[in-house]
Amino acid sequence: MKIKLTQSGGFIPITREASAEVDWTKEESDKLIRQIAVTGNQPPSQVRDGIGHTVEIDGKEIPVDVDKASGKFADVLNKLQMNLKIVKK
């Protein structure tokens, strides 16, 4: 299964992405989404200069708060954050 983290926004709006293959089950990916999804008007905890994150998994792109991740999910998201590359949109 492929997971893609996208970071966008900032003082000078830039989009950066990183992806990785993970060997998670459907239940594990659903648990990750429940853990980190931003719902309703709930702002992400990291909103410096309007920076936001989305995760694309199973063909769905979901706004997330990466700081809410724990355990192996946090490990994967931290690695993705360290490997974000600028993309042209």
One-letter amino acid for residue 75 of the chain: D
Q: Is 15 exposed, middle or buried (0-12, 13-18, 19+ CB in 10 A)?
A: middle
- Both tokens of 38, joined, read 């931003």
- 21-63 confidence digits (pLDDT tens): 999 999 999 999 999 998 766 554 445 567 889 999 988 999 9
Task: State the pLDDT at residue 49.
Answer: 66
Range 2-23 average pLDDT: 91
As a whole number of angstroms, the distance between CA 36 and CA 52 comes to 13
Range 51-79 average pLDDT: 91
H/E element, 1: none
Task: State the pLDDT at residue 50.
Answer: 78
State residue 37 phi and psi, 5-degree precision: -65, 140
pTM given for the model: 0.85
Which of 4-8, 20-24, 36-40, 76-80 has the lowest average pLDDT?
Answer: 36-40
